[in-house]
């Protein structure tokens, strides 16, 4: 038994010594690696190469041996060794350590080296770029793909096209499209047309269309028009239409083609996209075509789209076209849409056109739309016109619309103009609406002061009632004295009860004291 214990003790000591020795060796390897890597960080390439050479000889069993081999190849690159030798160095590394975390970087470096060698007259290295198996890492595929694109040769174009044909990944196919677009030759555009027409991914087909749009080739417009005519997928057709509108060719022929689609296509959304695309082109011919769409398009929505597109052009010719539509169109909704569209323009002539619509249009709804549009334009002359219209127009609807538009234009600073309208407007309805607008801004000190003044001074019971109710909405102690007075001395039960309710709505200590006083409670 004693011998057994002794043997066990000896074995345990030996194991501890072995483990200690292994741990010490590992610590030494880690220190050696860190020292060598520090030379990489400081770009001391010769020192780094010597250090990693020594590490590889001394610590071949270290878990860091793969990293050391990778950095050994890397330093050879930095020290200017031949590209052929570097290629072999990285290839041997990948063969030896295929599972290393550095394998992907090594593969990427191989791709770049092969690309350089191919351009320098070593076509055998292009074979490596062609042999991209489906199981290979996508990052490496992409690196090889961009390397091929940078070659710019017919042979490279053929290789890239072939890659598309054999690639299952939609992501990689989209990247291939980007590279094909950079070649910008008839062969690449032909391939992009094929992709836009046949690829099973809608995104990839749309990417092919956008790539075509970046090309300067004379055949691009014809290709895009062919896609619009033949493609069944609406989203792909829309992509082609937008691309036509953004193409560098701004010819009248493109505008005319887009106009035909806008006027006649049975798909309303497609027709609208064609209309918007015309607006992206700009110029005199654009205005002419949009006016034609307003008159001849099959859809009311498309005609409206043409109106709003004209409004975004920001020029006098567009304003004149919209002005004419607001006055002469036989479609009531289109007339209103035209008036609203004028409010989106910033041309100085828009305000004059809107005033003419208010004065001459026989349609009150179009007049009202024109007035609302003025509020969107804003400015001193607009505010003056809206103020005068609110006071003097004999049509209650038109006058009230002017008041609303003026309120929108003024924002928080509406109390004085609204008080003037309250005192001077011909229409009783307009006067009431002016008071409501003051009440809607009742958290503003000037508005509270105005409401108090109206409540005290008006001889119209309905106006007084509106003022009392609005004062309750202020929740301000400034309103309490006049409300308390109305609660006690109002000329009607309705006024007195509304004043009491308003005090309760304010709910401050001062308002509670006033209510207790009304009840005779001290």
Q: Of the ranges 70-79, 362-371, 452-461, which one carries the lowest mean pLDDT score?
A: 452-461
Query: DSSP label at 183?
Result: H
Q: How high is the pLDDT of residue 386? A: 92
- Residue 497: which residues within 8 A CB-CB, separation 6 or more? none
Buried b (16+ CB within 10 A) or exposed e, 124-144: ebbebbeebeeeeeeebbbbb
- What is the pLDDT, as a whole number, of residue 277? 93
Q: Is residue 91 part of a domain?
A: no
What is the C-alpha separation between 447 and 436, in angstroms, rounded? 11
Alpha carbon separation from 458 to 407, 414, 432, 443, 453 (Å, rounded): 22, 19, 12, 22, 8
**In the numeric block, which tokens belong to residue 311?**
């409004």
Asked if residue 502 is part of any domain, the answer here is yes
Tokens representing 42?
Answer: 């400081």
Give residue 184's region: left, alpha or beta (phi > 0; psi -120 to 50).
left
The total of other beta-carbon atoms located within 10 Å of residue 5's CB is: 9
Instruction: Answer yes or no: is 357 within a domain.
Output: no
| CA angle in degrees (0–180, nearest 5) for 301-305-307 | 115
* Highest mean pLDDT pick, 257-266, 329-338, 379-388: 257-266
Range with lowest mean pLDDT among 156-160, 185-189, 386-390, 508-512 = 156-160
Q: Give the whole-angstrom CA distance, residue 164 versus residue 191.
A: 10
Evaluate whether residue 510 is within a structural domain. Answer: yes
CA 223-130-111 angle, to 5 degrees, is 110
User: CA-CA distance, 476 to 264, in Å (whole number)?
Assistant: 61
pLDDT at 423: 81
User: Is 262 a member of any domain?
Assistant: no
390 occurs within a structural domain: no
Distance CA 335, CA 515 (A): 55
9-23, 156-170, 376-390 — which is least confidently predicted? 9-23
pLDDT, average across residues 16-33: 61
Question: pLDDT at position 395, please?
Answer: 84
**Of 143, 208, 221, whose CA–CA distance to 174 is shortest?**
208
Three-state SS for 174?
helix
pLDDT confidence bin for 135, thresholds 50/70/90: very low
Question: Which pLDDT value is given to residue 47?
Answer: 92
Binned at pLDDT 50, 70 and 90, residue 456 comes out as: confident
Residue 198 lies in a domain: no
Share of the chain above pLDDT 70, in %: 87
**For residue 271, is pLDDT > 90?**
yes
Evaluate if residue 133 carries a pLDDT over 80: no
**Are the CB atoms for 354 and 320 separated by under 8 Å?**
no
For 257, the token pair is: 């083609």
Helices (H) and strands (E) in the chain, counts: 30, 0
CB-based burial, 369-381: b 16+ in 10 Å, e otherwise: bbbbbbbbbbeee
In terms of Cα–Cα distance, which of 449, 507, 475 is closest to 515? Answer: 507
d(CA 401, CA 357): 14
Q: Which two tokens stand for residue 221?
A: 């417009």
**Residues 205, 236 contacting (CB under 8 angstroms):** yes
Q: Which pLDDT value is given to residue 263?
A: 95
266 touches 243 (CB < 8 A): no
The DSSP code sequence of 342-387 is HTT---THHHHHHHHHHHH-S-HHHHHHHHHHHHHH-SHHHHHHHH
pLDDT at 241 over 90: yes
Residue range(s) defining the domain that contains residue 466: 454-522
What tens digit of pLDDT does each residue of 476-488 get?
888 899 889 988 8
Mean pLDDT (the chain) is 83
- 352-369: average pLDDT: 91
| Separation CA 320–CA 325 (nearest Å) | 9
Return the closest-CA partner of residue 45 out of 13, 70, 77.
77
The strand ranges marked E within 128-227 are none
Closest to 195 (Cα-Cα) out of 148, 155, 242, 163:
163
CB count in 10 Å sphere of residue 382: 21
- pLDDT band at residue 178 using 50, 70 and 90 as cut-offs: confident
Q: Distance (Å, rounded) from C-alpha 55 to C-alpha 70? A: 12
For 293, residues 6+ apart whose C-beta sits below 8 A from its C-beta are: 259, 262, 263, 275, 278, 302, 303, 306
8 Å CB contact between 299 and 331: no
Radius of gyration of the chain, Cα coordinates, nearest whole angstrom: 40
**Domain total in the chain:** 1
Name the phi and psi angles at 460, rounded to 5: -90, 115
Q: pLDDT class for 131, splitting at 50, 70, 90?
A: low
pLDDT at 139: 60
pLDDT at residue 472 greater than cutoff 50? yes
511 is a domain residue: yes
């Amino acid at each position: 038994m004693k011998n057994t214990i002794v043997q066990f003790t000896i074995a345990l000591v030996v194991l501890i010594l072995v483990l200690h020795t292994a741990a010490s060796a590992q610590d030494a390897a880690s220190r050696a690696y860190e020292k060598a890597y520090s030379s990489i960080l400081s770009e001391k390439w010769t020192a780094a190469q010597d250090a990693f050479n020594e590490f590889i000889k001394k610590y071949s069993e270290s878990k860091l041996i793969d990293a050391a081999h990778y950095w050994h190849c890397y330093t050879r690159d930095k020290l200017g060794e031949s590209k052929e030798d570097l290629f072999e160095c990285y290839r041997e590394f990948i063969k030896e350590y295929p599972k290393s975390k550095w394998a992907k970087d090594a593969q990427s470096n191989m791709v770049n080296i092969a690309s350089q060698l191919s351009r320098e007259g070593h076509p055998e290295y292009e074979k490596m770029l062609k042999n991209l198996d489906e199981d290979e890492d996508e990052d490496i595929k992409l690196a090889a793909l961009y390397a091929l694109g940078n070659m710019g040769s017919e042979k490279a174009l053929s290789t890239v096209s072939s890659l598309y044909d054999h690639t299952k990944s939609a992501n990689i196919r989209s990247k291939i499209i980007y590279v094909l677009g950079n070649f910008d030759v008839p062969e690449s555009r032909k391939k992009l047309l094929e992709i836009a027409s046949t690829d099973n991914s809608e995104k990839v087909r749309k990417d092919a269309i956008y790539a075509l749009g970046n090309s300067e080739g004379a055949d691009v417009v014809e290709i895009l028009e062919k896609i619009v005519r033949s493609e069944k997928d609406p989203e792909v057709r829309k992509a082609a239409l937008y691309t036509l509108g953004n193409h560098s060719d701004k010819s009248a022929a493109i505008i005319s083609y887009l106009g035909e689609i806008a006027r006649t296509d049975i798909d309303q959304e497609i027709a609208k996209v064609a209309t918007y695309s015309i607006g992206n082109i700009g110029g005199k011919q654009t205005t002419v075509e949009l006016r034609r769409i307003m008159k001849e398009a099959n859809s009311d929505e498309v005609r409206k789209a043409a109106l709003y597109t004209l409004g975004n052009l920001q020029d006098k010719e567009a304003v004149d076209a919209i002005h004419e539509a607001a006055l002469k169109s036989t479609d009531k909704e289109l007339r209103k849409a035209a008036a609203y569209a004028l409010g989106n323009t910033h041309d100085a002539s828009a305000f004059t056109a809107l005033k003419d619509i208010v004065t001459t249009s026989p349609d009150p709804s179009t007049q009202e739309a024109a007035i609302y549009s003025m509020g969107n334009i804003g400015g001193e002359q607009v505010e003056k016109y809206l103020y005068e219209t609110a006071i003097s127009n004999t049509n209650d609807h038109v006058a009230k619309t002017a008041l609303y538009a003026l309120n929108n234009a003024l924002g928080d600073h509406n109390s004085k103009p609204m008080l003037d309208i309250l005192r001077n407007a011909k229409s009783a309805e307009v006067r009431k609406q002016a008071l409501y607008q003051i009440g809607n801004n009742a958290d503003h000190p000037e508005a509270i002061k105005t409401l108090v003044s109206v409540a005290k001074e008006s001889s119209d019971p309905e106006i007084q009632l509106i003022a009392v109710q609005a004062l309750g909405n202020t929740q301000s102690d400034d309103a309490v004295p006049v409300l308390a007075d109305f609660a006690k001395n109002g000329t009607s039960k309705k006024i007195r009860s509304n004043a009491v309710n308003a005090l309760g709505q304010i709910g401050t200590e001062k308002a509670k004291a006033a209510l207790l006083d009304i009840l005779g409670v001290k």
